[in-house]
Chains A and B, each alone.
Chain A
Amino acid sequence: MNKKHRNFSKSVTIINELGLHARAAARIAELAVKAKETIWIIKDGEKIDAASIIDILTLGCSKGAAITFTSDNESDFEIINNIVTLTKKGFGEQ
């Protein structure tokens, strides 16, 4: 449990023309679902579950939007790093 005390978060900007669309959201959720605990996405003070495509879509992240991934569990940091890398690469679309 003591692992939970450290909070870890990383911010990234959406570069895809169409924003964080369904396919991109699916890629994120696919990774996030493997986390030990919930990975959260924060945008403009709104916090949603990264494992739900629908949740991600309802955030409405268009191109240029800044979002933050965060988790309380250290063992999920790698997953966050992977998601951030993927997002930075524009989900392989660019």
Chain B
Amino acid sequence: MSDQELKKETRLAGIGASPGICIGKAYLVHKEGVDIVEKYFIDRENLEREIKRFKTAVKNVTDELREIIENVPEDVRQHTGILETHVALLKDKMLYDKTIETIKNEKVNAEWALKKVVSGIKVLFQDISDSYLKARSDDITHVSDRIIRFLIGTEEINIGSIDKRVILVAKDLSPADTSQIQLDKVMGFLTDRGGKASHTSIIARTLEVPAVLGLGNATQVINNDDRIIIDGTTGIVIIHPTDKTLDEYIELKAGFEERKASLSRGSHLKAETLDGLTLQIMGNIELPEEVVSVLDHGGEGIGLYRTEFQYLARNGFPVEDELFDKYKDVVEVMGMRPVTIRTLDINGDKAITNSGGSDEANPALGLRAIRYCLKRPDIFRTQLKAILRAAAFGNVRILIPMISSIDEVRETKRLLNESADLLAKEGKAYNKKIGFGIMIEVPSAVILADEMAKEVDFFSIGTNDLIQYTLAIDRGNREVSNLYHPFHPAILRMIKHVTDAGKANGIGVFVCGEMAGDPITAVILLGLGIDELSMNPQSIPAVKNMIRSLRVEDAKLLVREALRQTTTLDVIKLVEASLGETLGR
């Protein structure tokens, strides 16, 4: 392909996962080692120089390793064996000779040639059944990473050290990846995989940057530094836009930001309907720093504080004091406003070892959240104690994820009491009079809601997982993600069942899934009788605005009608027609 052809305007369509428009340059994140290797071609006359550049890099790495080996004290010399092996690997035919061959034959830069050769080697390792030997491909990665670092002539390049604002392009971003990113440097996200409720989408919405996910092949079509427009509202991505397209989108961007600004001007007013019902509007957070964003957007508390972050990609479990510090930070900033801390929602062992590849065939249905915590009471108690201690500094509620049976609720309460007793014995300040709530996200908990309601102080419906488990749809799978819809009649009826059970037992019923943050679905939740909505901070102004424009009696009528519908499409049509009329007034 010629340069001219490469620069032609191209459009891709994906899932609009975070609204807004941005115009910027692409930055590709490779999943392996999060380093970026650029590909470029080398002229015939410069090939020898490129090969020499590679040889010099290998020599430098060899010297570097030798120096390390020499500096190891005599008594621990036995551990240098692996470094000696790395030195030998540097000159291995399959690595060294093949890279030189690739530079020559394909006329590409050394970094790219090496990366290609290493990828080829890694494929061979995948077939090895012995897990120890299989993991030896790591040795090759270490060696090649060292060479690449020398070739690039800089320190390790990773997403933690981006120095300009960019659009991140990746196959997929795990929570561990995003935890390494300097998020203030990211102006937009594009990924091959993922959908509206994926982790990347949540992060993007929290940061208020546009994201288009589920693009399929973005990482193949887009090159580093390509100029890109993202329209996160429609899910359109434009590569190499023409001047005309650019002008068009600069205008659209201005319009979007204007609307956003006008919404946020009213964000500190209460979410009170025209007929006088006030809904509590809360924010979801993952990092303590996000508290500021919740308050800025008019959030009246934290409806969901995700606590997984402290467990991701690190050595060993966090200790009680560390967790306590983080929780206390949030609680203190919020003053007497409620802070709902959700206990660990993942499999801690897997998060700690960062072993993304799981031996569970179906991790979503596996050992995670409360199941994991009850199996590891030692880990769980550490977190419970930290929460009880933070509760002494403000208004804390505790929220237990993935409850599927009453036993789990009772066992958790027992552990909570036990943790309080331990704190009393240790003479630490704590507060055990805190709201105890459970996530309603597994269908069995919905069915048993009337029984569950007798055991707890509040319900928080996690609509993302509830929809996933009820409809048996993996929301990250683009083959089926179109079937994932909050307006499925089964979902509406389930939420109705839960709110009825909550009302009958006099406990609060909240929603903290994505459904709460969408102004249109929020209307339905209002009509269903939900007391409190918690959402990503930047959704708060729009939802508050919507609530203020409605009468709760109208929303109830709409819901009554919606509950009679039998298909998702009928519900959508009904809601759109009705809201079109209301909002048009």
Q: Which residues of B contact A (CB under 8 A)?
A: 81-82, 84-85, 88-89, 92-95, 121, 124-125, 127-130, 132-134, 136-137, 139-140
Tell which of A18, A30, A49, A58 touches B124, judged by Cβ atoms closer than 8 Å: A58
A52 touches B130 (CB 8 A): no
B133 touches A61 (CB 8 A): yes
Query: Closest A-chain residue to B130, C-beta based?
Result: A62
Contacts of A79 in B (CB 8 A): none
CA of A20 to CA of B128, assembled, Å: 12
A60 touches B130 (CB 8 A): yes
B93 to chain A, nearest CB (A): 5
B90 to chain A, nearest CB (A): 10
A57 touches B130 (CB 8 A): no
A54 touches B133 (CB 8 A): no
Query: Closest A-chain residue to B123, C-beta based?
Result: A58
Query: Closest A-chain residue to B88, C-beta based?
Result: A26
B133 touches A52 (CB 8 A): no
CA of A79 to CA of B259, assembled, Å: 78
B133 touches A20 (CB 8 A): yes
Known: A60-B133, A62-B130. A26 touches B84 (CB 8 A): yes
Which 6 interchain pairs have the tightest Cβ spacing?
A: A60-B128, A62-B130, A54-B94, A58-B124, A26-B88, A26-B85
Contacts of A18 in B (CB 8 A): 132-133
Query: Closest B-chain residue to A22, C-beta based?
Result: B85
Contacting B at CB under 8 A, from A1-51, are 18-23, 25-26, 29-30, 49, 51
A21 touches B132 (CB 8 A): yes
A30 touches B133 (CB 8 A): no
* 7 further contact pairs, Cβ within 8 A, besides A22-B139, A60-B127, A62-B132: A18-B133, A26-B89, A51-B93, A52-B92, A54-B92, A58-B124, A62-B133
Contacting B at CB under 8 A, from A43-94, are 49, 51-55, 57-58, 60-62
Contacts of B139 in A (CB 8 A): 22
A23 touches B84 (CB 8 A): yes
A37 to chain B, nearest CB (A): 14
A53 touches B92 (CB 8 A): yes
Chain B's interface: helix, strand, loop or mixed, by majority?
Answer: helix
Query: Closest B-chain residue to A49, C-beta based?
Result: B93
A53 touches B121 (CB 8 A): no
Known: A22-B82, A26-B84, A58-B125. A53 touches B89 (CB 8 A): yes
A50 to chain B, nearest CB (A): 11
B121 touches A58 (CB 8 A): yes
CA of A19 to CA of B131, assembled, Å: 11
Known: A49-B93, A54-B94, A58-B124. A23 touches B132 (CB 8 A): no
Contacts of B93 in A (CB 8 A): 49, 51-52, 54-55
Contacts of A52 in B (CB 8 A): 92-94
Q: Which of B95, B128, B134 has the largest count of A CB atoms less than 10 A from its CB?
A: B128
CA of A22 to CA of B138, assembled, Å: 11
CA of A25 to CA of B82, assembled, Å: 11
Query: Closest B-chain residue to A29, C-beta based?
Result: B88
28 A-B pairs in the complex with CB atoms less than 8 angstroms apart: A18-B132, A18-B133, A22-B82, A22-B85, A22-B136, A23-B82, A23-B84, A23-B85, A25-B85, A26-B84, A26-B88, A29-B92, A30-B88, A51-B93, A53-B85, A53-B88, A53-B89, A53-B92, A54-B89, A54-B92, A54-B121, A57-B125, A57-B133, A58-B121, A60-B133, A61-B130, A62-B130, A62-B133
